[in-house]
Structure formats: structure tokens, C-alpha cells
Amino acid sequence: MLNPSTPRRPVVIYGLMLLFALILLVAGGTAPVRELRNGVRFAFGPVQEVLAEGSRAVGSIFSAFAEIDQLRQENSVLVARVAELEQGVAQLEVLRSENARLTELLGTRKELDFDSVAATVVQRNPSQFERLITIDRGTEAGVEVNDAVLAPGGSLVGVVTEVYRGGSSVRLLSDTRSLVIGLASGTRATGEVIGDLSQPLKLEKVAATEKLEVGDTVLTAGQLVTGVRSILPKGLVIGTIVDVVEGSDGFTRSGRILPAADLERLETVLVVTSYEGPRITDPTATDDPFADEVTDPSPAPARAPSQATFEP
């Protein structure tokens, strides 16, 4: 059998809760309630502060992660930018060096008394027996065998040995087959400058009666042997004397020459294309007595008689 008071229980509970709320509302402004509220706030204040600090810490951690990620991205961008700038600086340095070389080459070309053509070294052929380079100018530029080849500063570096269309081979001074007559600018002593596959070069067959001095500049003498046309202009700088050795025979002395140009690092050169050296004659040679005789036995063709025209 159902209890008749059961349906009324929720109503009674709701009424009591409403009554309690009204009592709290009325008594909320009283001193005891305020003290109670302040006490509860004071008791739970540290807990709230800890929770607030924890919340702020968690927020800071997430913010830090976000900033780290942003900094990582910015750092990647900066690293790429720095690499780009470094590459640009390297390219500018290459262009600056190239411009300096070309400027020096142009200045040397203007100072020469001969026509010349600029060329770029496209290949090096160093070996145990020779020192050759290949340049990118040949017959199309007027280059010929035995043309002198100069460094940007104007010093001699070698001689053209082979020419073809679009290129030429140059034998450097350091090649053992290279032979140039050198003249010491100070003492005016002459001798043979011979390659030694390295630096410095050999200076040999200097007469013992002539003087060599360390530090003296050696120039091309403008001659080879009697009766042979000089292939090199006179006065081209070869290098500087760095050592002098007295010959054991008492008749000659020798020395070592440091080339004025770095023969191992040539990049651009000038080829002298218009030099025609004078032919050196042998003063002891006798004239050919038959030089003026006609050797062709066939008779000379008869001339047609000239016809004169007279005015009446």
C-alpha cells in the first residue's frame, strides 16, 4: 500500500531549499555571514593562487613552445639568407679579381709598343718533362708560332709553339726546352735563361768577366744566336736574380732567377702579334760571289720595240 505522503516529498524538499536560499539572501549582508565568506575566501586563497600560477605556467609553456617554433623558422630563413649573401659576396670577390686582372691586362696592352691580343688560359699540361698551357686564341686572332706571351703585368711567361684555329699551345719559361737570352738590367751581363720545371729559373753561361748581383732584374736581350731573327722583343721582364754561383771552371758563372709572373697560376695572358725582330748578321761571314749571277740558263725574253708618237 502506497504512502500518501510520498508525492509530497519533492515539493517539501524544494520548499525547504527555497526557504534556505531566501534566508541566505536575507542574511547575506549580516556581519556573521560576511565573516564566514571572508574566512572561506582566506582559506581557499592559496589554493586559488596555486591553481592560477599553474594555469599561467601551463600557458607560458605553450607560449614558449610556440615562440621556439617561430624562432626555429626565423632561424632557418636567416641561415638561408646568410648563405645567399655569402654566395653573393664570393661572386663579387670573383668579379672584383677578374676586373682587376682585366684592368691590369688592358693597362699593359696600352703600354706595349706592339699589337697584342688578350687570351684566357683554358688548359694546363704540367708533367715531369714539360710546362705547357693552352690558350683560347689562335689563327683567327693573328697568333703565330714564336709569338711572345706576357702576363697581365707585362712580364714574359713563354712562347707560342703551336697554333690552330681557336687556340694555341704556349711553352712556359719553366719548361726545360725553353731558352731565352737574358740581360741583367744593372750589370748588363748576358746569359741563357733555361727552364727547370719549377721556380726559380736557371741563368747559365754568363762570362766570368761579367758581374751578377742578387736583386738585379733580368730582361730579354732581344737576340738568340748570330744570323737568326730574334723572336722576342727586347726589354721584357723575366724575373729577379735570387742567387749567384761561381763556375768551377773559372770561365763562367751562373745564377737563379725568380720569374716575375707566377707561371703556375696564369689565367689571362697577352700574345704579342706584331713584333718583327731584326735579323742579326754575322760580321765574319763573307759575301757570296755568285749572289748576283743569273743561274737560269734560258735566254731572257726579247722586249718589244717601243713605239714613239710624234706630234706633227
Task: Residue 216: give its domain's CATH number.
Answer: 2.40.10.340
What pLDDT is recorded for position 150?
Answer: 95
Helices vs. strands in the chain: H and E counts, helices first: 2, 12
Q: Give the domain-ending residue among 111, 136, 157.
A: 111
Position 94 in a domain: yes
pTM of the predicted protein model: 0.59
CB 181 within 8 A of CB 205: no
| Alpha-carbon torsion, ordered 14, 16, 19, 25, to 10 deg | -80
Residue 84: predicted pLDDT: 80
Task: Let me know whether 76 and 127 are in one domain.
Answer: no
Residues 120 and 264 in one domain: yes
Averaged pLDDT, 279-304:
45
Does residue 288 lie within any of the structural domains? no
How do residues 64-77 score in pLDDT, each as one tens digit? 778 888 888 888 88
What percent of the chain is predicted at pLDDT more than 70? 65
Residue 134 lies in a domain: yes
Q: Is residue 215 part of a domain?
A: yes
Q: Of 111, 139, 167, which residue sits at a domain end?
A: 111
Quote the percentage of the chain above a pLDDT of 90: 38
Please write the tens of the pLDDT for every residue from 249-286.
778 899 999 999 999 999 999 999 988 766 555 555 44
In a domain? residue 303: no
The reported pLDDT for the residue numbered 97 is: 64
**Same domain for 71 and 195?**
no
Residues 176 and 161 in one domain: yes
Ranked by mean pLDDT, which of 95-104, 114-123, 225-234 comes out on top? 114-123
Residues 54 and 155 reside in one and the same domain: no
Higher pLDDT among residues 28 and 12, named by residue: 12
For 267, the domain range is 116-272
Q: Of 163, 109, 116, 157, give the one whose Cα is nearest residue 275.
A: 116
In sequence order, the 6+-apart residues with CB closer than 8 A to the CB of 128 are 197
> What was the pLDDT predicted at 8?
67
Q: For 170, phi and psi rounded to 5 degrees?
A: -125, 130
pLDDT for 53 beyond 90: no
At CB < 8 A and 24+ separation, what contacts does 236-240 make?
A: 236/148, 236/150, 236/154, 236/155, 236/156, 237/153, 237/154, 237/155, 237/156, 238/155, 238/156, 238/173, 238/180, 238/182, 238/193, 238/201, 239/155, 239/200, 239/201, 240/215, 240/216
Of 94, 111, 128, the residue that ends a domain is: 111
Count of structural domains, the chain? 2
SS3 content of the chain, % helix, strand, coil (to 5): 35, 25, 40
Residues 69 and 148 grouped into a single domain: no
Q: Same domain for 145 and 259? A: yes
Same-domain check for residues 144 and 41:
no
Q: Provide the pLDDT for residue 133.
A: 95
The pLDDT confidence band at residue 185, using thresholds 50, 70 and 90, is: very high
In angstroms, rounded to a whole number, what is the distance separating the alpha carbons of residues 252 and 207?
A: 5
Q: 190-202 as b/e, with b when 16 or more CB fall inside 10 Å? A: bbbbbbbeebbbb
Looking at the structure, tell me whether residues 89 and 221 fall in a common domain. no
Q: 201 near 173, Cβ under 8 Å?
A: yes
Same domain, 123 and 223: yes
Report pLDDT for 32. Answer: 66
Average pLDDT over residues 5-13: 68
Are 95 and 169 members of one domain? no
Q: What is the mean pLDDT of residues 28-45?
A: 64
For residue 75, being part of any structural domain is answered with yes
Q: Over the stretch 128-168, which tens digit does the pLDDT of each residue have?
A: 788 999 999 999 999 999 999 999 888 999 999 999 999 99
- Which comes out higher in pLDDT, residue 144 or 81? 144
pLDDT at 9: 73
Which tens digit of pLDDT belongs to each residue from 209-264?
A: 999 999 999 999 986 554 445 688 899 999 999 999 987 777 889 999 999 999 99
| 123 and 262, same domain (yes or no) | yes
Asked if the structure places residue 85 within a domain, the reply is yes
> What H or E segment, with its residue span, contains residue 76?
helix 31-111
Predicted local confidence at residue 95, as pLDDT: 61
Domain assignment present for residue 242? The answer is yes
